[in-house]
Amino acid sequence: MADANLRQMARKSLSTYASLMHPDFRPNWHHRTIAGILEKVANYEEGWERIIINMPPRAGKTELANKLFPGWFMAKHPYSKFVAATYGDDLSAEIGRHSREYVKTELYKGLFNLGVSKSADSVRNWELSNHASFFATSVGGPLLGKGANCLSIDDPTKNRDDADSKLVQDSIWNWFTTTAYTRLERQNAIVLIMQRWSTADLAGRLIEADDSWRIFSFPMIAEKDEHYRKKGEILWKDRWTEKQIDTMRKLLSERDWQALYQQRPVPEGGAMFESKNFCYYDPADLANITFSLIIQSYDTAVSKRDKSAYSCCTTWGLRHHDSIPTGSGFYLLDVWRKRVSFPELRTAAPEIYKTWNPDIIYIEELQTGKPLIDELKLVLPVRIVGIKPRGIRGGNEFEMSAKEKRALACSSFFENGRVFFPSEAPWLPKFLSELKDFPHTRFCDQVDSLTQGLSQLNKEMYRRRRSFGLGTTYDSDLRRISSIYGR
């Protein structure tokens, strides 16, 4: 039996508890870090109610978070309900069995003066003598009649085939939103601990949908100096050697290595916009920059009642640059992006206009764009232009191939160093993430707004040059853009 001081520490420290309950489990620094995160979850600390932890396979996440953590959490919270979910029935049964085995030991009973209730003692569904209950299920499985003070989801996606299946990923998302999330008690926390697969996996969708999630990533190889390791060092030296990691990387595709082991999912086929071509400006310099033209570009949601998709408006400025062959640079000044109904969009648009006072507003005529154009022409003293890209008839939604063509037509702007983003902005991380992942992103409203804005800004620049009789040797840009958007 552990001495009194160690038992006292184990009641307060999950890492100590894990080492005591599982002597062969030797926590690495990342386990201690994760244990500290889970302690905050167990204490219901404000701001720690929604946690995403991304780490490579076989890095000890299931043992700590779904087998050891439940009993420790439940001992702290009588009458609490703990739900553990994973991708399959067999694994969920294993998690339930092992977590129950820990709380049935004499060591656990000595620590917390608790045991398993005889009235509820099955592998998937057991209860402690303090009336705290545990339920193990598979992602997609039933939770009817079950509540959750702590919902722990461990690797919801089974393999690469499931990760690349839109049907499977939609099913996981629907289970989370309509089944799991609806079972939360008033006092609750969610922990999603998983290896990344794609930008559309559950972690990716949650990050996209809600800014309240705290995200902790533990790549196999450090990409920068960290508190516990230097750049280039592996995650768990007692578990893997550098030679094993090197062999593993050679066996995997770059896509799988980046996703599963580095927690940086990269779309198959790569990205259309390369970050090496992004240029930046200091937002503090805006007050001293003169723009010859400012425009706004709208990409609106599918229908007047649709709040599942985003509406987006990007604001762009045209600035003269001696260092650029065409003499002009395109500056992204602002991004407005929200899930709104049509009445909310109609109310927001005049306020977005007032912020920048653009010379022209371009609005895609498809979906809710047409009625928005009609509404704004009545209230705004600015030129409003409806844009209907070629290849679209009867207001049908774009196919991805059409979106790719529009993006490709704008790619030379980036390659020629003509597009500038602010070096910092609250909306910048999500904007750049969508841009770099396109065309394999779940949402592409920001890319659509960007390509439309750049295309129209470029055409307007040439029109103005011609009106002053300047001419240009860069008509090929204009012809390429016009073939897709029309003149």
CATH number of the structural domain spanning residue 139: 3.40.50.300
When divided into structural domains, the chain yields a total of: 2
Residue 476 has a pLDDT of: 40
Same domain, yes or no: 256 and 298? no
Kindly state whether residues 331 and 479 are assigned to the same domain.
Answer: yes
Give the per-residue pLDDT at 266: 65
Same domain, 306 and 247: no
Q: Are residues 216 and 279 in the same domain?
A: no
pLDDT mean across residues, the chain: 86
Q: Is residue 407 domain-resident?
A: yes
| Full residue range of the structural domain in which residue 100 is found | 4-261
- Asked if the structure places residue 116 within a domain, the reply is yes
pLDDT of residue 5: 86
**158 and 201 share a domain?**
yes
Whether residues 159 and 42 fall in one domain: yes
| β-strands 293-299, 360-364 pairing | parallel
Is residue 382 scored above 50 in pLDDT? Answer: yes
In a domain, 427, yes or no: yes
CA–CA distance, 413 with 411 (Å, rounded to integer): 5
pLDDT reported for residue 294: 96
Average pLDDT over residues 27-56: 95
Q: pLDDT band at residue 465, thresholds of 50, 70 and 90?
A: low
Mean pLDDT of all residues in 125-139: 95
Q: Does a structural domain hold residue 266?
A: no
Considering the domain architecture, whether residues 45 and 185 belong to the same structural domain is answered as yes
Q: What is the CATH number of the domain that holds 326?
A: 3.30.420.240
Same domain, 325 and 255: no
Burial class, 409, CB count within 10 angstroms (exposed 0-12 / middle 13-18 / buried 19+): buried
Same structural domain, 247 and 292: no
Domain boundary among 261, 290, 305: 261
**267 domain-assigned:** no
Strand (E) positions, 255-345? 279-281, 293-299, 311-320, 328-338
Residues 6+ apart with CB under 8 A from 476: none
Considering 105-119, 211-225, 269-283, 310-324, the range whose residues carry the highest mean pLDDT is 105-119
Task: Flag whether pLDDT at 358 surpasses 80.
Answer: yes
Assigned domain for 270 exists: no
Are 44 and 114 members of one domain? Answer: yes
Q: Considering the domain boundaries, does residue 268 fall inside one? A: no
